[in-house]
C-alpha cells in the first residue's frame, strides 16, 4: 500500500500515531508543495473540499496557515469559534462530530483538552487534525522538522535542545524528534518538566536516539544543533506569569547559553515570543534564528497534511 493510500482518511491526534516513514513522506510532500508555491504553480488537489476549523483557543499562525492553505489547495475553510457553534453551548462532542461529518471533508480543532480531540475523532467519519491542545502541538512540529531538514540537510543524528516549560511543545518535540532519530534534551525547572507518561511514551520511539530530561540548561544545550524555546506562560496560564518568571529566570536563551551549542546551531521558537524573557533580542533577531522561515513552513507542512488526509 502506498503512503497516499495509508494516510487518506486518517486523523492526526499526535505524531505518536505516525511512523517514521509516514512523517518522512509528509515532510517530502511539504517540500514539493512549497516548491510549487515558490515557482508560482497552481496546485489545487482539494478543489471542492471544505475544512471546518474549530477554535476554542485563539491563534495567528494556526488560523491563517490552515485557512490560506486550504484556499490555495482549491478548497474552502470555515472558521468556527466556540461562540459560533453549539459545542460551546453544551452540545455533546459526539453529536457535533456526526453533524459536521455530513457537511465537511475534514476538521481541524484547536482547543484545551486532548480528550475532546480524541472524542471528536472517534465520532467523526472524516479526518480530524489536532491544531493544538494543552498536551500536544503536532502540526507545529511537522513544520519544525521541515525547517530543520531544510537548514541541516538531514534529521537523523542531530541534537535538539528545548529550553523552557515542559508543555505541549516539549511533548510533541520529544515524540517527533525520537521518531526521526534526533537526540532531544528538555531543560526545565522542577515542577515544570514534561509529563512523565508522555516522556516515557516518547522514549519508546527512540531507536538509537536519546530523550533527556534535565533541570540544567547548559547540559541540554551542549553540542546542540538546534536550540528551541517557547513562552514561559502559555495561553490560560497568564495568572502565573510572575511566578513563572521567577522559576524560569535561569532558562533564558541568550548569547552565553548559545555558546555551549555547535557554532552553526540554529534557533527556533513556535511564536509568539516574549523578547527579553525566554529569549533575548540578540538571539531571536540574530543570524542563527530561523523563526520566520519556521512560521512560514506551518503553511506548507499543513497543506501536505491536508492533501494526504483529505485528498
Answer yes or no: 177 catalytic: no
Options 10, 165, 177, 270, the catalytic residue: 270
Nearest to 185 by CA among 197, 198, 199, 196: 199
Options 10, 72, 135, 140, the catalytic residue: 140
Options 165, 183, 230, 269, the catalytic residue: 230
Answer yes or no: 137 catalytic: yes
Q: Is 298 annotated as a binding residue?
A: yes
Q: Is 270 annotated as a binding residue?
A: yes
Options 10, 137, 171, 269, the catalytic residue: 137
Residue 246, CA distances (Å) to 6, 50, 217, 250, 280 in order: 47, 45, 16, 9, 16
Buried b (16+ CB within 10 A) or exposed e, 263-289: eebbbbbbbebbeebbbbeebbeeebb
Q: Is 86 annotated as a binding residue?
A: yes
Answer yes or no: 110 catalytic: yes
Options 110, 171, 244, 269, the catalytic residue: 110
Q: Is 60 annotated as a binding residue?
A: yes
Nearest to 234 by CA among 115, 146, 110, 117: 110
Residue 81 C-alpha cell reads as 469559534
Q: Is 113 annotated as a binding residue?
A: no
Q: Is 235 annotated as a binding residue?
A: yes
Q: Are 134 and 111 in contact (CB under 8 A)?
A: no
Q: Is 230 annotated as a binding residue?
A: yes
Q: Is 139 annotated as a binding residue?
A: yes
| Strand 76-81 versus strand 159-163 pairing type | unpaired
Answer yes or no: 270 catalytic: yes
Answer yes or no: 10 catalytic: no
Options 10, 298, 300, 302, the catalytic residue: 298
Q: Is 168 annotated as a binding residue?
A: yes
Answer yes or no: 269 catalytic: no
Q: How far apart are CA 275 and CA 279, in angstroms?
A: 6
Active site residues: 110, 137, 140, 230, 270, 298
Q: Which amino acids are annotated as binding site for L-ornithine, given as ranges?
A: 168, 230, 234-235
Q: Which amino acids are annotated as binding site, given as ranges?
A: 59-62, 86, 110, 137-140, 168, 230, 234-235, 270-271, 298
Q: Which amino acids are annotated as binding site for carbamoyl phosphate, given as ranges?
A: 59-62, 86, 110, 137-140, 270-271, 298
Amino acid at each position: 500500500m502506498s503512503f497516499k493510500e495509508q494516510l487518506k482518511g486518517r486523523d492526526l491526534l499526535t505524531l505518536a500515531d505516525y511512523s517514521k516513514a509516514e512523517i518522512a513522506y509528509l515532510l517530502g510532500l511539504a517540500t514539493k508543495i512549497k516548491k510549487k508555491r515558490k515557482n508560482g504553480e497552481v496546485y489545487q488537489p482539494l478543489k471542492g473540499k471544505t475544512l471546518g476549523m474549530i477554535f476554542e483557543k485563539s491563534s495567528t499562525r494556526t488560523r491563517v496557515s490552515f485557512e490560506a492553505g486550504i484556499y490555495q489547495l482549491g478548497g474552502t475553510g470555515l472558521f468556527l469559534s466556540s461562540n459560533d457553534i453549539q459545542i460551546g453551548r453544551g452540545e455533546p462532542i459526539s453529536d457535533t462530530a456526526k453533524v459536521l461529518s455530513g457537511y465537511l471533508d475534514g476538521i481541524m480543532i484547536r482547543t484545551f483538552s486532548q480528550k475532546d480531540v480524541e472524542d471528536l475523532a472517534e465520532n467523526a467519519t472524516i479526518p480530524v487534525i489536532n491544531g493544538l491542545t494543552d498536551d500536544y502541538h503536532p502540526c507545529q512540529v511537522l513544520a519544525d522538522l521541515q525547517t530543520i531538514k531544510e537548514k541541516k540537510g538531514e534529521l537523523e543524528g542531530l541534537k535538539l535542545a528545548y529550553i523552557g516549560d515542559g508543555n505541549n511543545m516539549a511533548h510533541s518535540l520529544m515524540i517527533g524528534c525520537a521518531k526521526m532519530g534526533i537526540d532531544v534534551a528538555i531543560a526545565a525547572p522542577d515542577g515544570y518538566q514534561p509529563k512523565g507518561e508522555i516522556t516515557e511514551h516518547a522514549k519508546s520511539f527512540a531507536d538509537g536516539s536519546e530523550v533527556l530530561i534535565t533541570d540544567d540548561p547548559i547540559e541540554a544545550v551542549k553540542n546542540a544543533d538546534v536550540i528551541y524555546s517557547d513562552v514561559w506562560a502559555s495561553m490560560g496560564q497568564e495568572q502565573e506569569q510572575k511566578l513563572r518568571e521567577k522559576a524560569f529566570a535561569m532558562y533564558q536563551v541568550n548569547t552565553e547559553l548559545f555558546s555551549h551549542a555547535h557554532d552553526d546551531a540554529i534557533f527556533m521558537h513556535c511564536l509568539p515570543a516574549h523578547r527579553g524573557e525566554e529569549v533575548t533580542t540578540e538571539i531571536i533577531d540574530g543570524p542563527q534564528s530561523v523563526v520566520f522561515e519556521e512560521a512560514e513552513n506551518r503553511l506548507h507542512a499543513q497543506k501536505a497534511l491536508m492533501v494526504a488526509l483529505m485528498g
